[in-house]
Chains A and B, each alone.
Chain A
């Protein structure tokens, strides 16, 4: 018995698997993999983005069911900010991007989501943009070259103030646009 106890030691199991990143933001991404991943699994993501190797610690927070006839599952993962988002950080690279268009060309919804005006105000730009990886090199300077890799229709956002609704949206009446009271309520 004493011998068995001496034999027991802690270790970590590291499993490597191929994944594909479908979507990403500064707080997480959507990956697909043929291997199962349990919710709560922690790991490190490594991929080449904009001609540079990017890494990020993540935790699986959502598992989507596989499509019929396919073994590939889609997982929602959140990034773990365990270190500064440096040059090799995926969330750092995503954070330096400047979206200029939507994937489907539809205007961004203005709806109140959680009555959290601060969050709503932070959500400038578009909700879902398209990126063609590797088509431009990251410079680390905001807004310099990233606009080239973000594609599709450009939307004219209000330059200052207002409720950050695209001018093309037309979801608030001109007469009330700019009203501070309404901005609080929208």
Chain B
């Protein structure tokens, strides 16, 4: 099967360590300043940390770190989503007010 490859493949000796940032869409259902409910297609386990990024106009994109408290699957019309309850890990004071998110 190796002869099917279009380009040479290289093996790293040893494997190189690095970081990966995965990105997925989510919807913020509710937000009370200390916690939020997010709906996303990405599964998560309690204790896992994410960064949420918003387009909070004016002021451009902003982000805050959240920790997953619970994750509940939500199957609607054959689409599996997850409703995540998250707690804010690090958030600037002006983020604790929902209108500052630009909603």
Interface membership of chain B positions 1-44, coded 1 if the CB is closer than 8 angstroms to chain A and 0 otherwise: 01111111111110111111111111111110000001010110
Size class of the contact patch on chain B: 35 or more
Candidate in A12, A27, A38, A46 with the most chain B CB atoms within 10 angstroms: A12
A21-B16, A48-B16 in contact; A110/B3 too (CB < 8 A)?
A: yes
Q: B-side binding surface: helix, strand, loop or mixed? A: strand
Give chain B residues whose Cβ lies under 8 Å from the Cβ of A25: 5, 7-10
Q: B12 touching A23 by the CB < 8 A rule? A: yes
C-alpha spacing A6/B6, complex, angstroms: 50
A133 on the interface (CB 8 Å rule)? yes
How many residues on the A side are at the interface (Cβ–Cβ under 8 A)? Answer: 64
For the complex, is A19 an interface residue (Cβ under 8 Å from B)? yes
Q: List 13 A-B contacts (CB under 8 A).
A: A7-B30, A13-B26, A13-B52, A16-B20, A18-B17, A19-B18, A22-B11, A23-B12, A42-B23, A46-B18, A114-B4, A119-B6, A127-B9
